[in-house]
Structure 1
Amino acid sequence: MKTEEKYHGSCLCGSVSVSAHIKSKSVDACHCGTCQKWGGGPFFAVECGDEVNFEGEQNISIFDSSEWAERGFCKNCGTHLFYRLKGEEYYAVPFALFEGHDDWEFSGQIFIEQKPKFYSFSEQTKNLTGEEVFAQHAASK
């Protein structure tokens, strides 16, 4: 269920602004190897579907990270802006880009089998392996 409120934020240097209707106030973590390499740890994101708008698009670089997805970042300050599925209007946006994120809930973790053993979170979340993520995505098509 989409929230009615539109969320706004920007990258570190302010060159790129983002506004989006998030699907819910649920934050998920991805532990896949690509996300870990991209950000030095898990990728904490909110699902935005296709209702994401960027200002300062000339400052966005896009990296083709796999056969099915690409990642966007600010070419000036390096801030991660989104993970996007190719051929679909699906965006996962780092929750911390948005202003006012104190009342959000950490609800899920994916690629849980790739999470390094040296950390764990105390919150009880829905955990999916990479295989389960791909199966769930295939079933929704």
Structure 2
Amino acid sequence: MTMTGECLCGAVKFEAEDVETHYHACHCDTCRHWSGPAMAVAVGKVTFQGEENIKAYQSSEWAERGFCQECGTHLFYRLKETGQTIVWVGAFDDKSPFKLSGEIYVDSKPDGYAFQGDHPRLTQREFLESIGAIVET
């Protein structure tokens, strides 16, 4: 599925191919600090217009995050090792195809909210192991 989206001010637009329509809510401290529970989907390829307006920074040892420098809209995070790009659901023009299919970093989730439904709920360790990241103990 190919989908389009943009930041709040329109300075950055994108077209994403092979968009996964299921998303995971991430409860890690970084995602919650950045945007509340992060809801993002993996895409096969994404092409940005207005790339000069995108600022990216290293948010962890294994990923970077990008946002619009003009309005601050959170756009994506990208895995450094594989280059896989994960785009925030809220940045897409049409949000209707997306469905919650799991939660990650549930051991970091505050008690004040919960998502309903029968879906996988992975701890930090379980998630990092599932993507082949090194887990230090």
| Length-normalised TM-score, structure 1 | 0.89
CA distance in 1, matches of 2:72, 2:8: 8
- Hey, what does 2:2 align to over in structure 1? 6
Q: Give runs of ≥4 in structure 1 deviating > 4 Å.
A: none
Q: Deviations over 1:97-137 (max 9, x none)?
A: 11222132111111011111000011222111110111111
Q: Check if 1:20 corresponds to 2:20.
A: no
Of residues 17, 32, 56, the one that matches 1:36 is: 32
Contact map agreement 2:31 2:37 (CA 8 A) in 1: yes
Of all paired residues, the percent bearing the same amino acid is: 44
CA distance in 1, matches of 2:48, 2:96: 23
Q: Check if 1:56 corresponds to 2:47.
A: no
Deviation at residue 23 of structure 1 after TM alignment:
4.1
Q: Check if 1:112 corresponds to 2:106.
A: yes
SS in 1 for 2:132: helix
Provide closer, same or farther for how the CA distance between residues 127 and 100 of structure 1 changes in structure 2, counting only shifts above 3 A.
Answer: same
Deviation at residue 64 of structure 1 after TM alignment:
0.9
Question: What value does the CA root-mean-square deviation take over the aligned residues?
Answer: 1.3
| Length-normalised TM-score, structure 2 | 0.91
Deviation at residue 52 of structure 1 after TM alignment:
1.0
**Structure 2 portions without partners, runs of 5+:** none
Q: Deviations over 1:82-108 (max 9, x none)?
A: 011113121111112112221321111
Supply the AA of the counterpart residue of 1:11. C
Contact map agreement 1:16 1:57 (CA 8 A) in 2: yes
Contact map agreement 2:23 2:102 (CA 8 A) in 1: yes
- Hey, what does 2:70 align to over in structure 1? 76
